[in-house]
Amino acid sequence: MISRTLLFISLILLLACETSFSQNAADSAKVTRIETTDGNIFTGSVVSEDSVSVVLKTGTLGEVRIPRNTILSVREFRNVPNIKNQFWLPDPQTSRYYWAPSGYGLKKGEAYYQNIWILYNQVSCAVTNNFSLGGGLIPLFFFGGTATPVWIIPKFSIPVVKDAFNIGTGALIGTVAGGGEGGGVFGLLFGTATFGSRDRNLSIGLAYGFAGGEITRTPVFNLSGMLRVGPKGYIMTENYVITIEGETAVLISGGGRTIVKNIGIDYSLWIPIVKDLDTFAVIPFLGINIPIGSKR
């Protein structure tokens, strides 16, 4: 049953990616994104500019003249697809899915903050184009406790075939601050292979857990996918096969990511498939990704 479930998910992802490949034929261009002090965001091509204003040709409003004294930020993007007169700006967070990493990494100078259900907090930044370092915590001390899980995540990203095949590898190394004698080192050693572009891909990964100086014999298998369906929308899935003491469980998910003013909002439903689970359970997921690097 487990193998058939994963096969079905893989086929759905592959078919979805195949149907979207025709979008690669769309025109691409250099695009400028201007945010003004009143909260508006304009995206398009610069027609002209001087010391007083910038004229931007947008896809829906035509030419817009923006006074320079109202401009809060200006960001430029290259090779942006123009599909049906809409610019598809890059996803601010393509280095991971809901939680699992992809083979892609952040670019030097980029960073982001991720939050999941208020408690999970993590900041990641790119040291180089191929190496990033993240750190996070679950601040249980806010709730009267002293034991607080903290971790770091070094990750290497290796482009094998540009925009087609990437490999990522790294580790999650954690401990419990204030946990007394129980605060030893624990974590995961992971590797993942990503097939496809940053907008349309399928990742296959595995991870070995470690704690107390021992490493698990059976890895956790992961299958994740991302498919862009619009200028601000993605369909995503993240799935696991976990084996503990001879018992195997599957965790499958489906949902998406919506980009709102360059902030990624992740949402999904997770379904555990366990042999002795008598009831059907659905677990909601909600998270945000906020770019904080200078390149966004």
| CA 7 – CA 185 distance, rounded (Å) | 35
Query: What pLDDT score does 22 carry?
Result: 44
Location of structure tokens 């195949």: 18
Greater pLDDT, 70 or 13: 70
Section 79-83 average pLDDT? 74
Residue 11 has pLDDT above 60, yes or no: no
Residue 152 has pLDDT above 90, yes or no: yes
Residue 296 has pLDDT above 50, yes or no: no
Residue 126 has pLDDT above 70, yes or no: yes
74-88, 155-169, 257-271: lowest mean pLDDT where?
Answer: 74-88
Residue 236 has pLDDT above 90, yes or no: yes
Residue 241 has pLDDT above 90, yes or no: yes
Percent of the chain with pLDDT over 90: 51
Section 112-127 average pLDDT? 94
- Set out the domains of the chain in order of their start, with CATH numbers: 27-87 (2.30.30.100), 90-291 (2.40.160.40)
Query: What pLDDT score does 238 carry?
Result: 97
Residue 289 has pLDDT above 90, yes or no: yes
Residue 157 has pLDDT above 80, yes or no: yes
Greater pLDDT, 108 or 75: 108
Bridge-partner residues for 251, per DSSP? Answer: 240, 272
| CA 131 – CA 138 distance, rounded (Å) | 24
Query: What pLDDT score does 25 carry?
Result: 42
Greater pLDDT, 145 or 224: 224
22-26, 56-60, 269-273: lowest mean pLDDT where?
Answer: 22-26
Q: What is the pLDDT of residues 181-215, one digit of tens each?
A: 556 899 999 999 999 999 899 999 999 999 988 99
Mean pLDDT of the chain, nearest integer: 85
Location of structure tokens 């296959």: 204
Nearest Cα to 6, choosing from 197, 14, 166?
Answer: 14
* 155 neighbors 207 (Cβ within 8 angstroms): no
Could you write out the DSSP letters of every residue in 119-181? TEEEEEEESSSSEEEEEEE--GGGGT---EEEEEEEEEEEEEETTTEEEEEEEEEEEEET-GG
| CA 170 – CA 103 distance, rounded (Å) | 10
Query: What pLDDT score does 179 carry?
Result: 63
Quote the pTM value.
0.80
C-alpha distances out from residue 211 to 22, 172, 182, Å: 46, 12, 11
pLDDT tier at 262, thresholds 50, 70, 90:
confident
Section 87-98 average pLDDT? 82
Query: What pLDDT score does 213 carry?
Result: 86
